[in-house]
Each structure stands twice: as C-alpha cells, then as structure tokens.
Amino acid sequence: MSLKQESLNKTFGGELRKYSYQSQALGGLTTNLNVFLPPTAIGASAKAAPVLYYLAGLTCTEDNGAQKGGMFGAAASHGIALVFPDTSPRGAKIEGEDESWDFGTGAGFYVNADKAPWNKHYNTYDYVVREIPAKLSEAGLPIAVEKASIFGHSMGGHGALSIYLREAGKYKSASAFAPISHPTACPWGEKAFSGYFNDAAKGKEHDSTELISQAGGSSKRQLNILIDSGTGDNFYKQKQLLPEDFEAAARKAGYDAKDVNVRLQEGYDHSYFFISTFAGEHINWHAKFLTA
Ligand SMILES: N[C@@H](CCC(=O)N[C@@H](CSC=O)C(=O)NCC(=O)O)C(=O)O
C-alpha cells in the first residue's frame, strides 16, 4: 500500500505532511507518519534532502516530536528532511495491550517481537529501519534515503542508539535526549523485553550498552553519537535511563568524547521543554555528517 497524504502545513518555508499507509511490518494495520520537507526539497528546483528520523518515547505518537520538538527551523536551514514514525501499532486488539503505558500501545520499543501474540503486529524495528525508508522512496518523495541519521527521546533514544549500533553503515550519526541507555538493567526495558521476546536474553541484542561494548576491539568502527540527559529528570533519578552505564561501556570499548559524547544537562527534566532546548543543537550536529 502506498502513502496517502492526510494533511499538509507550511512551516519554516518547508512542509509538514502527515501520511498514512497499511503497514506490513505492523501486521496490516494502518499507521501514520509525519514528514517535514525543507524548502530546498519543494518546488520546481527541488533537490532530494538527506533525512533525520526522530523516534519518540513511551505514550507518544508521530505527533509529539513534530508538534513540540522545535525542530523545523534548524532542519529547514540545513536542508534536512525529518521523519516522525509512530511508536507502536494501533488497534491490534491484543489482550493487555492497553493495560499499562509502558508496554503495548505506544510502547513498541523499536524491536521485532518474537513472542505470540505480539509477533504479528509489534515489529517496530522493521517498520522504522526497512519499511518506512522503502515507502518514502516508492512514493517518490524528494528524500535521499541513503543519506540518513537517527535521533530520539527516551524509549526512542534507546531505539535510535540501538538501531544505529546494529545497522553499521546505514546511518551516519545518532543522537538521543534522555535515552533508555541500558534497557536490560532497568524496569522499563526488562518489562518490554520479557513481554516481546520468548527469551528475555534476546534483549541484549537491542541494548545499546551491550552493543557498544561489542563495537570496540579489533572490529572497531567509527561512531558519531551525541547524548543529552537532564539531571532534573525523575526517570533519570529512578535509574530508568542509566546514561553513565553507556558512557562507561563506550570508554571501555575505546571511544572518547569526540566519538561518543554523553552530556548531563543541569536541572533539565524529561519533557519536551528539555528536548526543544537542545533539538536545534542536535540537528546542527547531525548536519555535519548528513551534508558533508
Ligand atoms: N504517562 C506517564 C508519563 C509518560 C511519559 O513521560 N512519556 C514520555 C516518554 S517516557 C520514555 O519513553 C513522553 O515523551 N511523553 C509525551 C510528551 O509529550 O511529553 C506517567 O504518567 O508518568
């Protein structure tokens, strides 16, 4: 099924378009995504734009980042397209799907579930990594899908980092706001991985702290990672995020702050007030890799 345009808003000289389509990865359910096209990708002399994917957190849809992230000015100025996927399938009608806000609807965790009944619809890894880029290309949008980077918030920060570390060569850079950095060692990740996987140990394959440990050594690859987390974030205080674990693993694997920059921002919380404060800086940083 091809993309169907649902709405269009002009913003920062570019266009924010909402699309829907029937997703194979999500078991045939209809999904929505937002796409921001910068001014350079619009009109008669349109040029294909590099793309930055934004993965949102628990309880979010494709709209949270688009409406509250404060991202369009920086993206427009660099000629970068932004893509905002949803965070889970909608309406899979699985028992228990809507019982809690940190599992099921709005909480796909950017993995492919292998445990029934979740495995039919909860394949948000394939949805983000393979299906959406293919749909953008098929639809002929002015987006250079081969020039891609990825960022995200909280659960979406986990998604951005783990996808970047797993998919060598597919993304030029990854950044995150308050990411769940060590999911196999925090309650959110433990719940998600034991719910979506037959063997919760499979969660290690999607755990950024585990993945970066393996990225070093003789097969060490160049990494471009930027992380911001707020010290006033209650989820940070509750040890759901654990950015220090990720930083320690990165240093042990031989990556310094030039390759993997983990910053604590004094007093900031988990909200979009925090994200929108640093979003411009993150997009400027991604632009170095996307427009080189
Ligand atoms: N409902 C929850 C709070 C949920 C929450 O804070 N979600 C965050 C992401 S948390 C990690 O992935 C979020 O982005 N919310 C949407 C927003 O627009 O702020 C509770 O009651 O505590």
User: What is the number of other CB atoms lying within 10 angstroms of the CB of residue 237?
Assistant: 10
Distance between CA 246 and CA 239 in Å, rounded?
13
Is residue 270 among the annotated active site residues? yes
> Under a CB-based contact definition with an 8 Å cutoff, are residues 151 and 176 in contact?
yes
End-to-end CA distance of the chain: 34
Report the alpha-carbon distance of residue 125 to residue 15 in Å, rounded: 26
How many Cβ atoms from other residues are within 10 Å of residue 77's Cβ?
16
Looking at residue 282, the DSSP 8-state letter turns out to be H
Buried b / exposed e over 35-64, threshold 16 CB at 10 Å, is bbbbbbbbeeeeebbbbbbbbbbbebbbeb
206, 233, 245, 282: the catalytic one is: 233
Name the residue with tokens 């806000």: 101
- Which residue has a Cα nearest atom 21 of ligand 1? 101
- Coil/strand/helix, residue 21: strand
Structure tokens at 197: 């996987």
Helices 208-215 and 155-166 pack at an angle, to 10 degrees, of 30
Contact between 125 and 26 under an 8 Å Cβ cutoff? The reply is no
Give the residue numbers spanning the domain of 19. Answer: 4-290
pLDDT tens per residue across all 292 residues of the chain: 699 999 999 999 999 999 999 999 999 999 999 999 999 999 999 999 999 999 999 999 999 999 999 999 999 999 999 999 999 999 999 999 999 999 999 999 999 999 999 999 999 999 999 999 999 999 999 999 999 999 999 999 999 999 999 999 999 999 999 999 999 999 999 999 999 999 989 999 999 999 999 998 877 999 999 999 999 999 999 999 999 999 999 999 999 999 999 999 999 999 999 999 999 999 999 999 999 8
35: Cβ below 6 Å to ligand 1? no
Return the pLDDT at 154: 99
Q: Is the CB of 273 under 6 A from ligand 1?
A: no
**Owner of token pair 């769940």:** 180
CA 3 to CA 161: how far, in whole Å? Answer: 27
Examine the residue annotation and report whether 114 is marked as an active-site residue of this protein.
Answer: no
Catalytic residue among 23, 149, 154, 229: 154
Tell me the H-state helices in 174-258: 187-196, 208-215, 234-237, 243-252
Question: Across-strand partners of 253?
Answer: none
Closest CA to 76 of 285, 283, 282, 225: 283
With a 6 A CB cut-off, is 276 part of the ligand 1 pocket?
no
pTM tops 0.80, yes or no: yes
- The count of domains in the chain is 1
Q: How many CB atoms lie within 10 A of CB 199?
A: 10
- At 140, is the secondary structure helix, strand, or coil? coil
Q: CB 281: neighbour CB atoms within 10 A?
A: 13
CATH code of the domain in which 118 resides: 3.40.50.1820
In angstroms, the CA 193 to CA 288 distance is 34
User: How does strand 4-11 pair with strand 14-22?
Assistant: antiparallel
